[in-house]
Homo-oligomer: A and B are copies of this chain.
């Protein structure tokens, strides 16, 4: 059995600009489910600080114990509980997760956001959220950790690719256009 909500899965390397797409979607009436929140909530339950190391470790442990699609499985009820009938799921990391969403939602579309590594590093370096990298080595290590769970495969097989390298306004326009195309596609 599959559910009728329109679900957009979003994949991208750190700093590629996923949050731009999420904000455009939210403004367009989408509910937002953040896959990373599952891991952050798990860290909180265990009384651990949400450092990149702790979050990375918890993610790998959950996957080992409950399978590669564990985070996606935990997000399905959240998507169903959303008031909105369009939901964007931020932070897809593997084809196993994509598969899980496709099994649950007939109207599932995978969107990837891309920016060159140097651009992503510059953005994250200037953003400096608690888990943002202070050096190229730390940045590269995080990239490799993300790829090790299969993020590159999800990006390579995306239904839509947003290239985010021409500034915020261009990215917003592309995101809005792609969401329109996805909605039109499912309306046919």
Contacts and interface: CB of A to CB of B under 8 A. Distances in A.
Interface residues of A, number: 21
Interface string A145-156: 001001111111
Interface stretch (A60-68, A128-136, A159-167): A159-167
A183 interface: no
A161 B161 contact: yes
Tell me which of A114, A152, A156 has the highest count of chain B C-beta atoms within 10 A of its own C-beta. Answer: A156
A13 B161 contact: no
A69 to B, nearest CB: 17
B156 A156 contact: yes
Given A152-B152, A163-B163, A143 B157 contact: yes
Interface of A: 13, 112, 114, 116-118, 143, 147, 150-161, 163
14 contacts: A112-B114, A114-B161, A116-B158, A116-B160, A117-B157, A118-B159, A147-B156, A150-B152, A151-B152, A151-B156, A152-B153, A152-B157, A155-B155, A155-B156
